[in-house]
Every structure is written in C-alpha cells, then in structure tokens.
Structure 1
Amino acid sequence: MGKALLIIDMQAKPFVWKNYGGKSLYQEERLLEQTKCLIDQARMRNSPVFYILFTEQEGSLRSENQPLWQVHEQIAPLEQESLIIKYHADSFLESELHSQLQDYGIDALVMCGIQTEYCVDTTVKSAYSHGYHVELVTDCHSTYDSDGLTAEQIINHHNSILEPFATLVHSSEVQF
C-alpha cells in the first residue's frame, strides 16, 4: 500500500480574502512554502498528490473553473495530479476521493491545507473513519482569527484534539 499527500482547499480565495474586506490567513507565506516542500518531496518519491477543491454552485466566484476556485499558483498541480471537487467540509462526502485513493492503493494520507477548524478537521476525522492512517502536518494548515480566538490558538487546539485521529507530524518529519 502507499501514502499520498492531500492538499485541502488551498485555492485562491483564502489568500485574497483580506483584499476584499476579509481577514488575513495566518502565516500564509509559511503555509505556501511548507506545502510546496511537501509537494516536492511527494513528487520526488512518486507519491500521489491530491488537490481538494472546495466548490460552490455555478454562478459563484468559487464555482468550478472560476478564478477564486483555482489552486494557488505557487503550488499549482501538474497535469497528471488529481483534482477532487467537493461541496462539503468532508472531502470524502459525495466526492471521488475515496475511490481514487483506492485505485492508487493508498492507505496512508499526509494532510495539510485550509481551514483548520472546518475542512481540515472534518477531513482528518473522515479519513480515520474510512480506515486511513492519517498524518496531520501540524505546521502546515491554517485559518483566520475568529471573534474569540486567534488563528494560532485555533490551530494549536485542533492539533491537540485531532491526535486520536491522526499522527501529528512537523513538516520537517514527513516522509513519503
């Protein structure tokens, strides 16, 4: 069996939201740099890379093939890499993710992405429920400050509560 990299919702919108009255993504440059390193490592080891794309209904700026829907240009997929369209926080729900992972013989997942308390959290738990060994890259997922907590507090909290569902690894410890 094998291991794959899952990049959750690292599309244009979360990175530009601050330009349209929204909040800034916590440590976005570091997130992009570390994700790029994970992608490079996975590719060097011939491990599959799966890009999960949160998709809204047609007519939205985040509908399929719209500018804000695209993967961030710094971590753009190669033509042969899998793009998984999803409509829910759970990357497995009503998507092709599980069947494609099975086609590749994948039983272990390295996960990174956006947004820590929503899609990352839900996908980690769902992957665990689907029988995958999950490695959550603790310094390679991000979110925004909420009204009550800083993004850093949210990330640290989720790293601690996801431990029963995933092995917590630092980006420097990931091996494909």
Structure 2
Amino acid sequence: MNNVVLLVVDVQNTLIKKHPYNEQKVIENIKKLILTARGTNKEVIYVRHDDGKGTEFEKGTDGWQIYDEVAPNNSEYIVEKEYNSAFHKTGLREYLESKEIDTIILVGLQIEYCMDATLKSAFDYEYKIIIPEETNTTFDNELLSGEKLYEFYNYKIWNKRFASVLSMEDVIKILLDN
C-alpha cells in the first residue's frame, strides 16, 4: 500500500436529512477518518451526486450540498457524478492515476446503490479497497432494514471478495502508518 486516499461518497444533505440507519455513528466515524487523513497528509476526495433539474439532488440546491459536518475544505477535490459509480463518466480514475493512488478507503451512502457501484468499479480497476466498519449506511426498504442491508453488503458481498472490511482502529492505523 503505497498511496492511500479516503473517498467520501454522497454524504449529501438530502440523504442525511432522511436519517439513514446508524446515522450518528457513521457520521462520527467518517469525521474521524477525515481528520486522521488530513492530519497525515492523505488526500480526502469527495463524490457528489447530481440527479438533474427538479430532483432532490439538483446541482446548486441545499440537498445536493455535501453535509456540513464532513464537508471538504477549499483545496479538496470533488468528483461530480450523475451515475451510481463515481468512476462512470467522471475523471476520478484519471485523477487517481495521476496521483499514483493504489488503495481506496471507501465510505459513504447509499450502500446498495452508489457505494456498491463505486466499490465494484474500483475493484475492476484493480484498486485495493478498504471499507471501515460503520462508515457506510442506507435506508430501510420494502425488503430489508438498513441494518440488514449494512450487514449483507459489508460482510456477505464486499468483505474478502471486492474489499477488506476492517475495524476503525485498523483503518486509522493504516492511515497513520503510511
């Protein structure tokens, strides 16, 4: 692991204001990772979704804004996207290549949509992907609770297949040691 980046996906007002599963713990953990990354000169990259005019994620609206508790500073890179994957029709891959990034610590929303699509795209591009526990979330749906979706994706789909799901302590250690 030579070059590590923290990728914060779609932690936007529209989603946070709807109170996803384990919201407070997820935000708290993402904030810790951002502060640790910044303190160790690791880049924090933000991803922001735009669903188009007239939607909750319309560019320029309050709902589209990155949630203020985890907001980027003026020098941090923001990837603007219109699809589930942060890699699809964006410059993210080229940007990561220009910085010689080989490892992505991935956090954010929503597990079964943008997190899953971004993770699998990153896997296809052969990045090493680390998912810190309790740093991603989603909502209850007609089939599963947000908690069940969290458990299913993190421990049955992603871990040891597409990514390594690690404790916060282990991920902070990785940030401090690299």
Q: Structures share a fold, TM > 0.5? A: yes
Q: Do the aligned partners of 1:34 and 1:171 also contact (CA within 8 Å) in 2?
A: yes
Residue 59 of structure 1 deviates from its aligned partner by 4.0
Misfit runs of 4+, over 2 Å: 58-61
Aligned to 1:169: 166
Alignment length (residue pairs): 170
State the alpha-carbon separation in 1 of the partners of residues 133 and 150 from structure 2: 8
SS in 1 for 2:133: strand
Alignment equivalent of 1:55, drawn from 25, 50, 53 = 50
For the aligned residues, what is the CA RMSD?
1.2
Alignment equivalent of 1:37, drawn from 23, 32, 36 = 32
Structure 2: unaligned runs, 5 residues or longer: none
TM-score by length of 2: 0.91
Alignment equivalent of 1:92, drawn from 87, 94, 97 = 87
Aligned to 2:140: 145
* Aligned AA (2:11): M
Matches within 5 A, 1:58-137: 58-137=53-132
C-alpha deviations, 1:9-50, integer Å up to 9, x for none?
Answer: 001000113xxxxxx311111111100000001101111111
Aligned to 1:16: 17
Percent identity between matched residues is 28
C-alpha deviations, 1:82-132, integer Å up to 9, x for none?
Answer: 100011111100011111111211110000100011111111111010110
TM-score by length of 1: 0.92
C-alpha deviations, 1:62-84, integer Å up to 9, x for none?
Answer: 22221111110001101010100
